[in-house]
A = this chain, B = another copy of it.
Amino acid sequence: MANAVKEAWKDGRAVVNGWLAIPNAFSAEMYSKCGWDSVTVDMQHGVQDYLSCVSCFQGIQPSGAVPMVRVPWNEPGIVGKVLDAGAYGVICPMVNTAEEARALVQYCKYPPAGTRSNGPIRAGAYGSSGNYQKTANDEILVIPMIETRTAIENIEEILDVPGIDGIYVGPSDLSFSYGLEPKLDVEDPFILGIYDKLLAETSKRGIAAGLHNGTAAYANKMIRKGFKLVTIANEVGLMVAAAKAAVAEARG
């Protein structure tokens, strides 16, 4: 069960990541075929729960995109469940301290690295090798979200936690926590300065930095800046934008 995202990062390539808010396997299936390297089920702000995540994973699978999940919270029950369902990466919101990062790693790793419980009901049936338990700790990505002032202040300690494979930046929450307007595709030099620091600190440790973007143009710019995991809005956002444009053009 080699993780293609991890391989891309080893090769220095950036990963273009899809984002699923619609709790439906058919929608996920069609969207996943569009060329994404990985597709993430958003259980935090998306209209998703555990069973819809499983359905979306089934929809993602034929595309070959790497299935990941953003969990709703840093809580061991749900982290264990999405890993058992076959997540190859866990993006966790609001990780603000090294202690929280260590807890996340604990939930994601089998002993002795962590305390994940054994029972990969769907994950273990991927591939044919049958050695899921031996490779899971190495292959599954643990990615805390860095999206508050507190997290920035603790960033070096957080990044030093063993088992962290990358970080994922939530720009609107980050801005919010500094008293700025919450939005994506930020041009504010202060926030961009934080990005520079995050890129430097992650790069120094050989781990990846990811970013949530509103547009493909901005995502492209961020790849060139050094981000290794870029998401573009989500599937429902792309649909809504396309629909509004289509209505306008049809009306003339």
| Least distance between A249 CB and chain B CB atoms (Å) | 4
Question: Which of B46, B117, B176 interacts with A94 by CB under 8 Å?
Answer: B117
Count of chain A residues with a beta carbon within 8 Å of a chain B beta carbon: 91
Q: Which of A133-168 contact B (CB under 8 A)?
A: 133, 147-148
Q: Enumerate the 4 nearest inter-chain pairs by beta-carbon distance, A residue then B residue, closest first.
A: A45-B119, A73-B77, A216-B249, A34-B243
Q: Is A26 an interface residue (CB 8 A)?
A: yes
Q: Is A210 an interface residue (CB 8 A)?
A: no
State the A residues within 8 Å of B (CB): 16, 18, 21-27, 29-31, 33-36, 44-47, 49-52, 54-55, 58-59, 61-62, 72-73, 75-78, 80-81, 84-85, 93-94, 110-112, 115, 117-122, 125, 133, 147-148, 170, 172-173, 176-177, 179, 182, 213, 215-217, 219-220, 223-224, 230, 232-233, 235-236, 238-252
Write 12 A-B pairs (CB below 8 A) sorted by A numbering: A22-B22, A24-B24, A30-B239, A34-B240, A36-B247, A44-B77, A47-B85, A47-B121, A49-B49, A77-B78, A220-B250, A232-B247
Cα A11 to Cα B138 with chains together (Å): 44
Cα A120 to Cα B45 with chains together (Å): 7
Cα A75 to Cα B94 with chains together (Å): 14
Integer count of this chain's copies in the complex: 6
13 further A-B contacts with Cβ under 8 Å, apart from A22-B26, A61-B62, A216-B247, are: A23-B51, A24-B24, A30-B239, A31-B240, A44-B80, A45-B117, A223-B250, A230-B250, A232-B247, A233-B246, A235-B239, A238-B242, A242-B242
Q: Which residues of B contact A25 (CB under 8 A)?
A: 25, 54-55, 58
- Nearest residue, chain B, Cβ from A213: B250
Cα A236 to Cα B34 with chains together (Å): 12
A29 and B58 contact, Cβ closer than 8 Å, known pairs A21-B121, A220-B249? yes
State whether A121 touches B46 (Cβ < 8 A): yes
Q: Which residues of B contact A78 (CB under 8 A)?
A: 72, 77
- Nearest residue, chain B, Cβ from A128: B33
Cα A248 to Cα B223 with chains together (Å): 13
